[in-house]
Chains A and B, each alone.
Chain A
Amino acid sequence: MDVLYHYYEGGGITVEGPSVLVRKQLGESFSVQAKYHVDTISGASIDVITTASPYREERTELAGTLDYLRGDTLLSVGIVTSDENDYKGRSFNIGVSQEVFAAMTTLSMGYVRGSDEIGRTGEPDFREELDRHSWRLGVTQVVSRNMLAELAFETITDKGFLNNPYRQVRYLDPESGRGYGFQAELYPRRRTSNAVALRARYHLPYRAAVHAEYRYFSDDWGIDAHSTRIGYTHATLPRVILDLQYRYYTQGAADFWSDLYPFRSAQNFLARDKELSRYDSHSVRMGVSYELFTARWAMFDRGTVNLTYDWITADYRDFRDLRVNVDVPGDEPTYSLSANVFQVFFSFWF
């Protein structure tokens, strides 16, 4: 059982809430898992400040998974529901993994079908839908007595309403006092993306491990992204495990993205979301885990308390900060944000 409290602060917003995961073995072959997660959002992001759009206030996620182990094969089925005042998400997932080659290799594959309903606060007649299919394939390999490696592929296709119902794009408008106007963003109604990742972990001669990961992403909107991660895990003192991790992420912009269009409805598709723009991000994570008791206590076999801190920065290359007034539209400085993420969680095994 994991009980977690998370806190995110950055870019003008705060997101916090609990997350609880309970997993229970049922006999020799079955196990069930249930998860409850809440995000409570407050504050105003750069998008809210500059275009006066509303924002979601609370999201509740419920998930259930059933695992069936037979020999070297593990089958999993699960459902996930996510509810906000203006967004409902439902998904079903199924997965299978099989150990082969004297358990040196584990092959896994999975499929997720998602079906979302999108609304808009204050407009009860606004209702859009989004369907999502995701296929993934993974190979985990014992490389040596000290090293594990994993190769993963995932293809995701979306069909339906993909843009944010509140966000807007801006265009040059000489008749406006500030030199530009806003109109609703408009995305294509289909998106297909592919991602491939290679990750490895290596056990050092003492009780510590290093790990590295690279992921390449590409989609048919023209976004290419690379992310790399390196980390070090050190079991120090009798009951303490320390984690240190660095992640770098960089992406190009969607083909139809622009911070400032030359005129209203300048293209078939319009986007100014910073998430689809060209940017770089750096993250540093520090974590510590402490084993609370090593002998059985009450109903628990083991228990740990864990603290993690993540510092995330993002520097947008083309997305401009409209809070700054300038004489010529497009001369505003580019936007950047810095975020702090704290997690504290308890894990108990029973």
Chain B
Amino acid sequence: MTRFMRCLQVLAITLTISACSGIQPWVQPYERDRLADPIMSFERDPVSAAYLQKLYDIREGARGASGGSGGGCGCN
């Protein structure tokens, strides 16, 4: 748990630094045509992906962080 919390702290610090450092978006919306391609989706077929993940979860000791956490490429 301690190791996990440390990872979360590193992530929070990294996000805070990047938010304050004046970095500009380096990929403009008109440059995201490839990112918007369905083949770039982390979960192109959600029903199929959920079924297969369930199959793994039942048969394996590990679980969690298996995708479907949302988000995309900002292509709208």
Residues of A with Cβ closer than 8 Å to B? 2, 4, 6, 8, 19, 21, 35, 37, 74, 76, 95, 97, 99, 101-104, 106-108, 110, 134, 136-140, 142, 144-146, 148, 150-156, 192-197, 199, 201, 203, 207-209, 215, 217-220, 223, 225, 227, 233, 235, 241, 249, 251, 254, 275-276, 281, 306, 308, 310, 314, 341, 343, 345, 347
Contact = CB atoms under 8 A, between A and B. Distances in A.
Contacts of A201: 40, 42
A276 B62 contact: no
A156 B64 contact: yes
Interface string B51-76: 11001101111111111011111111
B7 A192 contact: no
A155 B8 CA distance: 11
Contact of B62 (A2, A136, A195): A195
Contact of B61 (A6, A136, A251): A251
A148 B27 contact: no
A111 to B, nearest CB: 12
B4 A196 contact: yes
Interface string B15-44: 100110000011101011011011110100
A136 B60 contact: no
B67 A152 contact: yes
Counting from the closest, the 3 A-B pairs by CB-CB distance are A103-B74, A138-B69, A140-B71
A209 B39 CA distance: 7
Interface residues of B, number: 48
B71 A203 contact: no
Nearest to A197: B65
B62 A251 contact: yes
Contacts of A99: 74
Contacts of B69: 97, 108, 110, 136-138, 140, 150, 152
Nearest to B45: A306
Given A148-B40, A203-B37, 8 more contacts: A134-B64, A137-B69, A139-B71, A195-B63, A203-B34, A251-B60, A308-B48, A343-B48
B35 A148 contact: yes
Given A35-B47, A145-B34, A308-B48, A104 B74 contact: yes
A152 B51 CA distance: 20
B15 A148 contact: no
B48 A233 contact: no
Contacts of A35: 47
A150 B11 CA distance: 12
10 contacts: A19-B47, A74-B70, A139-B15, A145-B32, A153-B8, A194-B4, A197-B66, A199-B42, A199-B67, A201-B40
B11 A151 contact: yes
Given A104-B25, A308-B48, A95 B70 contact: yes
Contacts of B27: 104, 142, 144-145
B8 A137 contact: yes
A58 B21 CA distance: 55
A249 B60 contact: yes
A6 B39 contact: no
A153 B3 CA distance: 12
B21 to A, nearest CB: 11
Given A2-B45, A203-B34, A97 B71 contact: yes
B37 A217 contact: no
A218 B38 CA distance: 33
B9 to A, nearest CB: 12
Contacts of A4: 47-48, 51
A322 to B, nearest CB: 19
Contact of A223 (B39, B42, B56, B61): B61
Contacts of B70: 74, 76, 95, 97, 106, 108, 110, 138, 140
A196 B7 contact: yes
A2 B48 CA distance: 9
Nearest to A144: B27
